[in-house]
Structure 1
């Protein structure tokens, strides 16, 4: 028996689409018996941390799912604590749990981001690295409100290299173009991706456009 609920395409953007069906029991004496109810659900753009409980002697694992991006990461208990600590570092900007997971996912390769191309390998975010980057950005004259806007526009900054990319690029902006102080703040709010530029094709494309100074 198949039960199906029809929903308007417009109303499914932020809603849950759920299909449920029952499977007849095989080999039972009663032909009409039902042995299971199976429910599948699809929740667009939802990011969540799930406790996966298994009937096994192995340590518990934690999974971070992005159902819209078809990405997942299995975390040990220790790695989950690290992830949670990074989320806590972002909580001061009033992001929701889903927004925090999405930002960390994009920054550290668990959710596909065109910014990285195929170069970004998955890794568990490091709380020390995240804090160091946030503190460095504050030294550039960015308030918490500024950082909130910057992170929404460019969460990948948390996965950039502090010494080789962020600090090097800020020094280059000052040395080559005299951009510093308020001008630097305005630039970073307008185009924060400049913090992660690491190539300069000088007009001869090398297919690294998302991280190339030619975009500046």
Structure 2
């Protein structure tokens, strides 16, 4: 009876969304790669994979938009996703990028201080154009946003431009060297504190990480 109960529609459903359990024995399925399976938790239920969690994260952002944003706000959001699409960012990646940049998806970079807001196309375009002015191509911007989506929510004047000046004047990093640095470590654009060895508990935004 127990063996039959395991082959339930519920288990079949889990398998369709990337959730599964170990087979009763490896020998019973010699061609199965065990790494493709997720072990059962202490209660006997399957664990949710990282992929499934990420999908939930993205869907939850869409649900927030549908439930909270006004018609006008949705238009603003859509115009920003189109601006990212123009540089080759997929719609799914654009939703995630904007969500993290403007507080719709939690980001360790902001901690708990970032309030949810709807992005404005003027702000997004200003930052994208500024980064292009530093020698970054559309392909470069896609890579940079993947590593540091929060850059779109940073202050252009007080963070991006200020930090580029610091990199140029204090470190002598400019031109091609600056481009290479930003592709390698784009979070340098968002550093806005320097603990100088005396931790201020803002490590994700501190020059000590540079």
Match of 1:112 among 100, 106, 117: 106
Contact 1:64 1:72 in 2 (8 A): yes
Residue from 120, 132, 136 that aligns with 1:142 = 136
| Compared CA separation, residues 209 and 132, structure 1 to 2 (3 A) | same
Q: Which has the higher strand share?
A: 1
Instruction: Give unpaired runs (5+ residues) of structure 1.
Output: 16-42, 50-62
**How much does 1:12 deviate?**
3.4
Report which of the two has the higher share of helix.
2
After TM superposition, give the deviation of residue 9 of structure 1 in Å: 6.9
Correspondences of 1:30-69 after superposition (within 5 Å): 44-46=53-55, 47-48=58-59, 64-65=62-63
1:5 aligns with 2:15: no
Relative to the length of structure 2, the TM-score reads 0.74
Structure 2 contact 88–138 (Cα < 8 Å) conserved: no
Question: CA shift at 1:92, angstroms?
Answer: 1.8
Using the TM superposition, give the Cα deviation of residue 4 of structure 1 relative to its aligned residue in structure 2, in angstroms.
3.8
Distance (Å, rounded) in 2 between the aligned partners of 1:11 and 1:102: 23
Residue 113 to residue 14, structure 1, CA distance change in 2 (3 Å): farther
Note the aligned Cα RMSD (angstroms).
2.5
- Alignment pair present for 1:211 and 2:205: yes
Match of 1:84 in 2: 78
Unaligned runs of 5+ in 2: 1-7, 21-51
The alpha carbon displacement at 1:96 in A equals: 2.4
Match for residue 124 of structure 1 among 107, 118, 126: 118
Post-superposition offset of 1:44: 4.1
Q: Deviations over 1:118-156 (max 9, x none)?
A: 111111101100000000000100011111100111110
Aligned residue in 1 for 2:147: 153
| Change in CA separation of 1:73 and 1:138 when aligned onto 2, cut-off 3 Å | farther
Change (3 A) 1:96 1:14: farther
Instruction: Report the CA distance between 1:100 and its aligned residue.
Output: 1.0
Q: In the aligned structure 1, how far is the partner of 2:179 from the partner of 2:12?
A: 46
Secondary structure of 2:62's counterpart equals: strand
Aligned length in residues:
170
Q: TM-score, with normalisation over the residues of structure 1?
A: 0.72
191 and 10 in structure 1: CA distance in 2 versus 1, 3 angstrom threshold: farther
Higher relative contact order (CA 8 A, sep 6+): 2
Deviation digits for residues 94-113 of structure 1 (CA, Å, limit 9, x no counterpart): 33222111110000001001
